[in-house]
Amino acid sequence: MTAPRLGIVLSPFASEPVADFIAVAREAETRGYHTAWLGESSGYDAISLMTLIASHTERIHVGSAVVPVQTRTPVVLGVSAASLGHVAPGRVALGLGLSSRTIVGDWHGLPFGTSLRQIREAVQIIRLTASGERVNFEGTFYRVKNFRMTAPPPEKPVRVVLAALGPEMLQLAGEIGDGVVLNWIPPETVPASIKHLEAGARRAGRTLDGFEVASFIRTCVTDDPTRVREALARDITGYAIVDAYASFFRAAGFGDEVEGVNAAWKAGDRAGAVKKISPRFLDGLGVVGDEAFCRGRITEFVRAGLTQPVIVPFAPPDARALLIRTLRAFP
């Protein structure tokens, strides 16, 4: 695995005017963050923001965490990866994942499934496309006939990292990925995830040497942790009612909380669901406190085995200044 370095999620700043958003990216670069990560759901698309940041910076890497493989074709993703590779040679990580039924089915009107074969096939086609190879592929999910990108491929291949929670996806990431992006994971659970990554790597006859193990960590540097923890509880609730995350949280030791959240939510008691998020749940998944506390807690994630703890600045809606304060507390 690679030596530890620090990442930052810039999506929370994307509601700012474009000029201010670029300024935040440049400040992250100046402060020494290794990678600026962009998410994608119903806001700006990740590829456009990655291009914007890459073209206005010189050193900081850019990554998507994550782009669903179900909402773009693998050929489009391959061409996008190659284009980004020209904009920022050696500085791009294409983060891919399987999205939710709401995003894929309801929002995009596309068939929804969670088959690992789909992401395996997509990664193969993306790499072939971005390399400039002629692509002929006949799979379960994708069929490509005689496609070849007319633009030249980038000199340095774009790294492909996979978003993973459960054992099977972790093993797939270890087998075919250049890295993994974890999410909502306490440091105590990181070693178990790494074991699954190692199992996948062995399946491919390789090790995790040079492999990136990144994880998103909700972080807020504040003098008023009570209000911020309330915001964190609401955020966790939104994930705990999603099947994949509910299963993951149970495996991480938060089964009682997950059951309580889902029972209240199904009964229509939204406020009651949030109250089921216990203090230990908050302490496990978030980092909230003064600068010294937050820096110490992030160090615990590194000791657990991450090669890239990724700061996800968050704050209550009326305290957005805390986003900048959190960014400036690191590295």
pLDDT digit string, tens, across residues 218-251: 999 999 999 999 999 999 999 999 888 999 999 9
Average pLDDT over residues 297-319: 96
pLDDT in tens, 173-193: 999 999 999 999 999 999 999
Rounded to whole angstroms, the Cα distance separating 33 from 42 reads 26
Nearest to 37 by CA among 78, 68, 1, 7: 7
Please give the single-letter amino acid code of residue 95.
G
H helices of the chain, where? 18-31, 46-55, 74-87, 101, 116-130, 167-176, 190-203, 225-240, 243-249, 255-266, 270-275, 279-285, 291-303, 321-328
- The answer on pLDDT for 15 being more than 80 is no
Q: What is the pLDDT of residue 3?
A: 67
pLDDT class of 2 with cuts at 50, 70, 90 = low
User: Is 104:71 a contact under the CB 8 Å cutoff?
Assistant: yes
User: DSSP letter at 114?
Assistant: -
Q: What CATH class has 7-219+291-328?
A: alpha beta
Q: What is the pLDDT of residue 304?
A: 97
| Residue ranges covered by each domain of the chain | 7-219+291-328, 224-289
Q: What is the pLDDT of residue 91?
A: 98
Token duo for residue 210:
């040079």
Rounded to whole angstroms, the Cα distance separating 11 from 21 reads 9
Q: What is the pLDDT of residue 1?
A: 67
